[in-house]
Amino acid sequence: MATTIETSSLETFRLEAQQLMQNRRNQNSDETAVAAEEETSSSVMAGQDRVTLNSRILEAGLYKADMTLNVTSKDSFELLRSLVIDTFQEQGIATKIAVGDETIDLQSLTPEEAQGLISEDGYFGVDQTSQRIVDFAISMAGNDPTRFEAILAGFEDGFAEAEKAFGGTLPDISYQTRDAVLGKLNDWLESFEQ
């Protein structure tokens, strides 16, 4: 059963991410202020003066509208995983996903497993994902090559909607998958012309 994510859900996701990052910044800011206060009091007690010029507090992470994070890859993976899991649970969507003949659980997915899923040979890699899209589109058109323009228009419209929902751009793998889909659809059409 396919579930669509409404634009309002994506906006809610963005707002939740912003709130989490603000909470993290506030927590880090409070910890830094306490550490600076302790350092200042110990310096004053020791009779030392300390001046710091051109110094700034580095924040743990920054959420941007383009959905990139300025945190370590492990932190960003954990943040993204928790946001996805929370969003799924709030919407009543299971956190276990069928991937071919097996099932993965987002709650226990490691960064290495996630990377494997989007690798060249992975279930969500360019080749396998584009093939699933093409197979679905062709079956919806009843394997009728006269419906090629409708298939193409539907695919392009859906891709444009995904771009819009994610702020205008998608990850590179999405564009690679789009190119692979278009190539496979053209190959399918050409098979009827011979």
- Would you give the distance in Å from CA 179 to the centre of its chain? 20
Class of residue 106 by CB neighbours under 10 A (exposed 0-12, middle 13-18, buried 19+): middle
Structure tokens at 95: 């956190």
Write down the pLDDT at residue 185: 95
pTM: 0.57
Q: What is the pLDDT of residues 74-127, one digit of tens each?
A: 677 788 888 888 888 888 888 898 888 889 998 888 888 889 999 999 999 999
Write down the pLDDT at residue 99: 86
Q: Find all residues with CB under 8 Å of 52, minimum gap 6, and list them.
A: none
Cα torsion angle, 54, 59, 63, 66, sign: positive
